[in-house]
Structure 1
Amino acid sequence: MFLTALHVLIPMCLCIAMANSGMFEKVLVDLTYDHYAERKVDDLPVFLAMPFNCLINLGYTIMGLYWLLQRTYITDPSPARYMKDVFAFMAIAYGPVQWIRLASLSRAAAVLDQWFTLPIFAWVPIWCHFIINGWRPHYALTVEVLSILSYTLSLIHDQGFEIALGGHVLFAVLSGVSVQRSYGDSVSLRYLGLAMLSCCGFVVLKLLDHTLATYWMFQNLTGHFWSKVCDILQFHYSFCFLTHLTENAQKRVS
């Protein structure tokens, strides 16, 4: 498990160093509370300035810990367990990054919040490739490196991150559909549908944050808050989908 954690921590530390180096000073990111529909509460400490949008980030870490400790068919020391644990550590680390962004409103934290999204999405195709083709370290390394480097698109165009993220989402969906065709059943199909539905909810609710805030039901628990709920569910159902198909594949071999 220690080596698995290093897989996440080493590139994470490199990204943190680069984000604080000044090379992303021209990247378009939001650095004010006006970007969010939830009202800032001045009487609360800065790490709870927007209490609901801040506290929801605990969900990523709790969900990641749940899957890290979850007993499944793939509990033996194998590449299959490695795939699950890396994904879990990514979830555990992602929550604090988003929380620090809200607490500090710093450029480096905003860059990291965007940047870390990309290798997380990239791990889904890597896991799908593993299920179909077995463990290929060079493939995993290549995809992760290209994913991290793709954030440099944000230096070329104001919507560079959105372009990179869109490509990652499409790659993940196509990989999921491919592995479903090879090893899927009705259970995995349901998980795939729920993961894709959650992804759509994450995007739509985040984009409509301020629009939805005109309705009373979205003025405290805002669109941004619910988009994070959808994002956590997207993570969870991706775990369900991928672990289930990994079990199916291993049972066919054994």
Structure 2
Amino acid sequence: MLPGIMVKSLLLVLSVTGLMSYVVYIGCLDGATAEIGVQHYAERVHISMKGFLPRWIKMPFNSVVNLGYVFVGAAWCAATTIALTENTIRKSDALLFYIFNVAACCYGPIQTLRIVTQLKGFAILDQWYTLPFFMLVFLWGMNTVSRWSTVWNVTFIAASIGSYFLSLYDKHGFEISLGVHICFAIGGAVLAWKKVPQAKCRNSFIGALLSCAGFVVLKLLDLELVKYHEIFKYISGHLISKLCDIGQVHFVNMFCFTVSTALHADSKKKEK
């Protein structure tokens, strides 16, 4: 039986995802800049695959890799359930872990639909959906330092989601918003770590930073890498960047989980 907190998180994520999808569907964000078309990607179908792959699958590896978000998100949902059962994390932390990882499970199909269909609506939703992930890390950090009220949490998530509308006024609006979100996430993580300095989370923190950098840089270099070796037409920079992004989801979970369990253990000692 699923924990009540997980069910609540599932309903919250599905509700917000549905609302965001509807806003995209009715065309409110049609003015946003988003790359569509296989010409923006380096990956091509290898000749050995053309005999059995459907014609509509233009980038097989970039399509399949998105299962990683689902696997990692599901695995950390399971880990959260175990920790909650064993009382090693706070319920407030468990709620944020569930929201973060259920969203990761939803992001995999969204990214796959973008790759397979190359429709602008899915490209916009893919970009937009990225922002709340970073804001959730910031909120987790702030809730670790001092328990924020529901009003503050909802306000910052709403601001995060609303910030994508900047892309309607500037062609680099998404990149600007994403950069701000990354800074917020790093700041929240550092504040949380300072709150629990005894937590052994240095490796996961570095892993998350390197994964984030790899995701951004390799995605930008996708078409450039092909100039150096033909292998990048099949194992593309975009593919490797997605692997970095999936690694980022994992390392962020590991970092937050380590700090959360250390904080909860410390609070239980003080109660004794």
State the shift of 1:47 in Å.
5.9
Residue 5 of structure 1 is matched in structure 2 by: 10
State the identity as a percent. Answer: 34
Residue 65 of structure 2 is matched in structure 1 by: 56
What TM-score do you get using the length of structure 2 for normalisation?
A: 0.89
State the shift of 1:48 in Å.
3.1
Q: Does 1:162 align with 2:171?
A: no
Residue 188 of structure 2 is matched in structure 1 by: 175
Residue 251 of structure 1 is matched in structure 2 by: 265
Q: Write out the 4+ residue segments of structure 1 that deviate beyond 4 Å after TM superposition.
A: 40-43
1:44-123 matches, within 5 Å, as 44-45=53-54, 48-70=57-79, 72-75=82-85, 76=87, 78-123=91-136
Residue 14 of structure 1 is matched in structure 2 by: 19
Cα deviations by residue, 1:45-73 (Å, 9 ceiling, x for unpaired): 36632100000000000110111111554
Counterparts of 1:213 and 1:132 in 2: how far apart (Å)?
Answer: 45
Residue 3 of structure 2 is matched in structure 1 by: none
Aligned Cα RMSD in Å? 1.7
Alignment gaps of 5+ in structure 2: 1-5
Larger Rg: 2
> Partner amino acid for 2:23?
M
Alignment gaps of 5+ in structure 1: none
Judged with a 3 Å threshold, the aligned counterparts in structure 2 of structure 1 residues 187 and 46 are, in CA distance, closer, same or farther, namely: farther
What TM-score do you get using the length of structure 1 for normalisation?
A: 0.95
State the shift of 1:113 in Å.
0.2
Cα deviations by residue, 1:148-204 (Å, 9 ceiling, x for unpaired): 000000000000000000000011011111111221346212111110011000001
> Partner amino acid for 2:9?
T
Residue 232 of structure 1 is matched in structure 2 by: 246
SS of 1:24's equivalent in the other structure is coil
Alpha carbons 2:142, 2:191 under 8 Å: kept: no
Q: Does 1:221 align with 2:235?
A: yes
> Partner amino acid for 1:17?
Y
Alpha carbons 1:79, 1:135 under 8 Å: kept: no
State the shift of 1:218 in Å.
2.0
Alpha carbons 1:122, 1:168 under 8 Å: kept: yes
Alpha carbons 1:47, 1:99 under 8 Å: kept: no
Q: 1:27 aligns with which of 16, 19, 32?
A: 32
